[in-house]
Amino acid sequence: MDFISDGESFLIFTSFSLIIEHNLYHCIPYHFGMID
């Protein structure tokens, strides 16, 4: 991981987080998605 800069690591982490969050939103019951 040392060859990846902090900026790139952050972008990759953010991208994966958004993808996971998007998938969870569609997998779990709708009302769960409305909870903060």
For the stretch 1-36, pLDDT in tens is 566 678 888 888 888 888 888 777 766 666 565 554
Burial class for 8, CB neighbours closer than 10 Å (0-12, 13-18, 19+): exposed
Q: How far apart are CA 3 and CA 9, in angstroms?
A: 10
pTM for the predicted model, two decimal places: 0.45
Per-residue confidence (pLDDT) for residue 23, from 0 to 100: 77
Q: How far apart are CA 10 and CA 20, in angstroms?
A: 15
